[in-house]
Amino acid sequence: MKQQKNQSHYHGLFKEAMLGSFSKMNPAYLISNPVMFVVEIGLILTTCLSIFPNLFGPVPNDIRLYNIAISVILFFTILFANFAESIAEGRGKAQAESLKNTQKNMRARRLDDDEVETIIDAQELKKNDIILVKIGEIIPSDGEVIAGIASVDESAITGESAPVLKESGGDFASVTGGTMVASDWLKIRITANPGESFIDKMISLVEGASRKKTPNEIALNTLLVSLTIIFLIVVVTLYPLADYVGIHLDISTLIALTVCLIPTTIGGLLSAIGIAGMDRVTRFNVIAMSGKAVESCGDVDTMILDKTGTITFGNRLAAEFIPVAGVPKDKLIQAALLSSIQDDTPEGKSIVTLAADEGVLLSNQKMMGEFIPFSAQTRMSGMNLSNGAKIRKGAADAVKKWVQISGGTIPSDLDGIVQKVSSLGGTPLVVSQDNQIFGVIYLKDIIKPGLVERFARLREIGIKTVMCTGDNPLTAATIAEEAGVDSFVAECRPEDKIEVIKKEQAAGKVVAMTGDGTNDAPALAQADVGIAMNSGTTAAKEAANMVDLDSDPTKILDVVEIGKQLLITRGSLTTFSISNDVAKYFAIIPAMFMGAIPGMKALNIMELATSYSAIISALVFNALIIPILIPLAMRGVKYTPQKSEKILQHNMLVYGLGGMIAPFIGIKLIDSCIAPLLAIIGL
């Protein structure tokens, strides 16, 4: 059943692409692609010559068939180029349809100032409207949670089945239209007007409706136009030269020669490469707000990364109990366990787990007491036991001050233990009971697996990695060394990130960074490539030029590689196309002039039968190479992280040399097939 569904999908995609190919034949559309526009002008002229062979003077009677053959080949050349663009757009449109389905027949429960509900069409919602969404209902538009707490199923947008917890306040209050409340209820303030929601932007982007040419595309288009003009001059120059040596060149032949020599291959595939690049990012569950954003990823020189949640898991886990001199380890573990038994934080739970692994258990009687939660003011948490004992765990300086106020003394080896844990990249939690310090809990922030290798890959291609963390310099240095990043900024504040980005940009670097909070918005806007987490705030998503639907901060590493692949694909196919043109030049010109200049016969290394067969064979090859390369343009050239010099050498060898050789082989094979047919009709 699934296979039949996929076949039906591809059949529909192919059909839409074919219809789009014909609609793009409109000269008003093709004028945006100068190379293919020149081909269409040639098609119009050869079609006129097919109908009126003597339009520019008397010609042989059998030239009509030759004109028709060239017209047909030029028509398919344009059609294949349009098909490449249409098939790339078709994949985005198919995804857009699935997104549009989330908006159909959607209703909203709007609340007025008196909390009275009114059921309205979702399209009527405006910015700052207040709505209520209950369990099982679709969130009709983007907004911020102002009351309630609920699990939200974002699978319609992200494809991820696990619900995400949303609540008012903080960095996880933002909700996206089209997602569903899976539990409880939420009161939401709408943050987008109709047609301006995140899902509307996604639909517009994946359909290609708002796609604009990127700076690199514009530069490459300028190059292609320049080459087209150069080859037009070359062809025009050939006409008097041929006339001088006694060779008559038909208008159709000059048009065909022009089409063969101008860079039609890359001209036909350029748009498809750009669209497919954005599509690859989209299929990776990242929405790029522009083609420029994807392209900029390929030019990234510096990557700014948060430590917590990006380089490390963010949940500091208890790794070891270290008692001070004279205190039994079991006594430290019991105190640490008592201070954490009602602590629901990941750190507290990990302390309980580690204590159990050490074989320390507590009786219910000892567990009785008042739990003291952690606060930013005290920087400690703990328990006031029913027997009057007060146990605290927290930052070293806070606990030391607590003990000194209680009349206790600081163990001489405590500072050494704290410094050792910090130097290992861990967080030391000092444990005390009343006025006595028992020791230190070593909390370790675990580095995500595989990051060391990925950072090494980035280093190979010349990308500098900078870790930003609020940790002290000693802890930051240890984590940076363990993760393999190139540099770090310790005790980093939001404004410090902006300074780091500006400093790198001032040195001519292209900078990328990730973020999810409102305080990250200025830095995301400043960076050349800013990736906001979908779970983050509306401010962060609006400031960034990419949004990661999976909210995986490490995905920036993969997005950069996709950007590199886009640039390499464009460069590789441009190299192949220009090499093709040079090869076709040397393949066709000798066959055209060998009748009048016998010495040219030595250059006809392919031994093409006649000038007519040479022209038509080259035209057929020129047309067929476009659909042959469509899969490569869509999939992208395989990317392996390596230095620019090696990439250039590889491209010149594979696509440069390959582009030179392919026309010789292809044109010769086509010539051997069509030369007998042309001989029958007298050409």
CB 437 within 8 A of CB 399: yes
* CATH number corresponding to 126-193: 2.70.150.10
- The pair of structure tokens assigned to 626 is 């476009």
CB 399 within 8 A of CB 393: yes
Sheet architecture: strand order including 436-444 = 317-323, 436-444, 427-433, 390-394, 380-385, 369-372
Rounded Cα gap, residues 643 and 648, in angstroms: 9
What CATH superfamily is the domain 312-446? Calcium-transporting ATPase, cytoplasmic domain N (3.40.1110.10)
Local structure of residue 447 (DSSP, 8 states): B
CB 417 within 8 A of CB 383: no
- The pair of structure tokens assigned to 15 is 């059909």
- The pair of structure tokens assigned to 203 is 């639909």
Helix (H) or strand (E) holding 372: strand 369-372
3-state helix, strand, coil in the chain (%, to 5): 55, 15, 30
State which residues of the chain have pLDDT below 50: 1-10, 209-210, 365
CB 35 within 8 A of CB 262: yes
Rounded Cα gap, residues 85 and 22, in angstroms: 12
Helix (H) or strand (E) holding 612: helix 611-635
The amino acid at 519: N
Domain chopping of the chain, boundaries:
1-95+206-281+561-681, 126-193, 286-311+448-549, 312-446
- The pair of structure tokens assigned to 158 is 């992200």
Residue set of the binding site for Mg(2+): 516, 520
Rounded Cα gap, residues 640 and 642, in angstroms: 6
Rounded Cα gap, residues 404 and 286, in angstroms: 53
Query: CB under 8 Å to 443, separation ≥6 — which residues?
Result: 316, 317, 318, 319, 347, 350, 426, 427, 428, 429
- The pair of structure tokens assigned to 340 is 């954490």
Rounded Cα gap, residues 358 and 409, in angstroms: 28
- The reported pLDDT for the residue numbered 560 is 83
Three-state SS for 306-335 is: ECECCCECCCCEEEEEEECCCCCHHHHHHH
Rounded Cα gap, residues 449 and 312, in angstroms: 9
Local structure of 623: helix, strand or coil: helix
Active site residues: 306
Class of domain 286-311+448-549: alpha beta
- The pair of structure tokens assigned to 378 is 């005290």
Local structure of 290: helix, strand or coil: coil
CB 161 within 8 A of CB 142: no
CB 546 within 8 A of CB 287: yes
Residue 78 to residues 22, 73, 82, 581, 668, Cα–Cα distance (Å): 9, 9, 6, 17, 23
Rounded Cα gap, residues 414 and 46, in angstroms: 91
Rounded Cα gap, residues 617 and 103, in angstroms: 52
Nearest to 325 by CA among 439, 403, 443: 439
- Cite the beta strand spans of 191-285 per DSSP E: none
Nearest to 580 by CA among 261, 197, 308, 234: 261
Residue set of the binding site for ATP: 343, 347, 374-381, 393
Local structure of residue 519 (DSSP, 8 states): G
Backbone angles phi, psi at 194, to 5 degrees: -55, 135
Nearest to 623 by CA among 272, 268, 271: 268
Backbone angles phi, psi at 127, to 5 degrees: -55, 135
Residue set of the binding site: 343, 347, 374-381, 393, 516, 520
Q: What is the pTM of this model?
A: 0.66
Question: Is the sign of the CA dihedral 496, 502, 507, 508 positive or negative?
Answer: positive
CB 370 within 8 A of CB 414: no
Rounded Cα gap, residues 286 and 213, in angstroms: 20
- Check for a shared fold between 286-311+448-549 and 312-446: no
What residue spans of 435-508 are helical by DSSP H?
451-460, 473-483, 494-506
Cβ neighbours around 115 below 10 Å, total: 9
Buried-state track 631-653, b at ≥16 Cβ within 10 A, e below 16 = ebbbebbebebeeeeebeebbee
Per the DSSP assignment, residues forming a β-bridge with 109 are 119
